[in-house]
Amino acid sequence: MAGIGLVIVIAAIVISMAAALYTYTQYQTNFITVNAGEAVIVGPVQYFITFDGTNSGNKETQPENTFVKILIDAENISQESTRISGGQFYLVDENDKKYEAVYGGFSEKDLLNHKFDPGKPTSWTTQFDVPYDEQEKYHIVIRPLKEQSTVDTAMICITNC
C-alpha cells in the first residue's frame, strides 16, 4: 500500500515539473538578431531599421553627448490596428549599456506614439543620446508592447556589424 502511495507522489512531482518546464519555455524571450536593413518581425509588425546618422539636436532639444538617429520603416502585418512607440526601442553599445529613445519633435516623422492600420507601411525616425564613437558597434533592441502579446525581441546591428 505504501509503495502505491510513493509511486503516486513521484508521478505527481514529475508531472508538476513537466508542466513548469512547459510553461517556462512558452514565456521565454525569443531573441532575433539581424543586421541593419534586414526585415525583422516583432509581434504584428515587420521592421526595417537603418542607421540615419548623428546630429546635435535642435533649438529646443540638445543632447548631453550626440544624437544617434535611426530610420524605422514598419508595416503592420496583422489584421488589426496596433501601436508603435518610441519606448519600444533601445540602443545598446558594446559595453551592453542601454539608452532610451529621446523624443524631441525634430520632424514630422519623429516617433512618440502612433497607432497604425494593417497593410500600410510607414516610416519614422527616433534618436538616442549616447557618447558616440564611430569605431564602436551599436545595436537597436525592439521590445514588443504589452498589447502585442509576443515573446519576440529583436536585436539589430546598426554600425560596424
Cβ neighbors of 158 (< 8 A, separation 6 or more) are 36, 49, 50, 51, 70, 138, 139, 140
* DSSP class of 79: S
Q: Which helix (H) or strand (E) holds 53?
A: strand 45-55
Task: Enter the pTM of the model.
Answer: 0.81
- Phi and psi at 67, nearest 5°, equal -85, 125
Cβ neighbors of 6 (< 8 A, separation 6 or more) are none
Please report the domains of the chain, with CATH numbers, ordered by start residue.
31-159 (2.60.40.1240)
Q: Exposed (0-12), middle (13-18) or buried (19+): which is 30, by Cβ within 10 Å?
A: exposed
What confidence tens digit (pLDDT) does each residue in 107-149 have? 888 888 888 899 889 999 999 999 999 999 999 999 998 888 8
Distance separating alpha carbons of residues 18 and 123, to the nearest angstrom: 44
- Beta strand 152-159 with 82-85 is unpaired
Higher pLDDT, 158 or 1: 158
Q: What cell numbers appear for 123 in the block?
A: 516610416
Higher pLDDT, 1 or 41: 41
What confidence tens digit (pLDDT) does each residue in 15-60 have? 999 998 888 877 788 889 999 999 999 999 999 999 999 988 888 8
